[in-house]
A = this chain, B = another copy of it.
Amino acid sequence: MNIELVTIGTELLLGFTIDTNAAHISRALASVGVRVVRRTTVGDGEAEIRSSVSDALERTGFVITTGGLGPTRDDITKKVLAEIFGLPLDLDEQYLEALRRRFEGMGRGPMPPSNRCQAEMPRGATVLNNQWGTAPGLWLEGKPGIAILLPGVPHEMKMLLEYEVIPRIEGRGKREEGRAKLIRSLTLRTTGIGESALAEKVGEVEERIAPVTLAYLPSVEGVDLRLTAWGADAEGAAQVLERAAGELRPAIAPYWYGDDESDLAAVLLDELRREGRKLAVAESCTGGMLGERITAVPGSSAVFVGGVIAYSDDAKAAELGVAEPLIREHGSVSEPVVQAMVEGVTRKFGVAAGIAITGIAGPDGGTAEKPVGTVWLAAVDGDQIRTVGRRFFGGRQEVRARSVQAGLDLLRRLGAS
Query: In whole angstroms, what is the CA distance A286 to B20 when docked?
Result: 22
How many residues of A are in contact with the other chain, CB < 8 A?
Answer: 106
Query: In whole angstroms, what is the CA distance A348 to B112 when docked?
Result: 47
Q: Which of A205-229 contact B (CB under 8 A)?
A: 206, 213-219, 224, 226, 228
Query: In whole angstroms, what is the CA distance A40 to B239 when docked?
Result: 33
- Measured between beta carbons, the chain B residues less than 8 angstroms from A396 are 296, 298
Query: In whole angstroms, what is the CA distance A70 to B74 when docked?
Result: 40
A312 near B308 (CB under 8 angstroms)? no
Q: Which of A243-301 contact B (CB under 8 A)?
A: 281, 283, 285-296, 298-301
A200 near B291 (CB under 8 angstroms)? no
A398, CB-defined interface residue at 8 Å: yes
A74 near B214 (CB under 8 angstroms)? yes
Name the one of B28, B215, B218, B288 contacting A292, with C-beta atoms under 8 angstroms.
Answer: B288
A15 near B25 (CB under 8 angstroms)? yes
Residue of B whose beta carbon sits closest to that of A285: B295
CB distance from A230 to the nearest CB of B (A): 10
Interface string of A189-211 (1 = CB under 8 A from B): 00000111101100000100000
CB distance from A42 to the nearest CB of B (A): 6
| Oligomer copy total | 2
- Measured between beta carbons, the chain B residues less than 8 angstroms from A310 are 306
A163, CB-defined interface residue at 8 Å: no
Interface string of A167-205 (1 = CB under 8 A from B): 000000000000000010101000000111101100000
**Known A14-B27, A19-B19, A52-B38; contact A72-B216, beta-carbon cutoff 8 A:** yes
A26, CB-defined interface residue at 8 Å: yes
A287 near B294 (CB under 8 angstroms)? yes
B298 near A287 (CB under 8 angstroms)? no
Query: In whole angstroms, what is the CA distance A65 to B297 when docked?
Result: 36
**Known A74-B213, A306-B312; contact A292-B298, beta-carbon cutoff 8 A:** no
Query: In whole angstroms, what is the CA distance A22 to B52 when docked?
Result: 18
CB distance from A24 to the nearest CB of B (A): 6
Given contacts A12-B23, A112-B200, A287-B295, 12 further A-B pairs with CB under 8 A are A12-B39, A13-B37, A14-B36, A16-B23, A39-B40, A74-B213, A155-B398, A288-B307, A298-B362, A306-B312, A307-B311, A315-B349
12 contacts between A and B (CB under 8 A): A14-B26, A15-B28, A16-B27, A72-B199, A115-B196, A155-B398, A287-B296, A296-B397, A298-B362, A306-B312, A306-B319, A309-B309
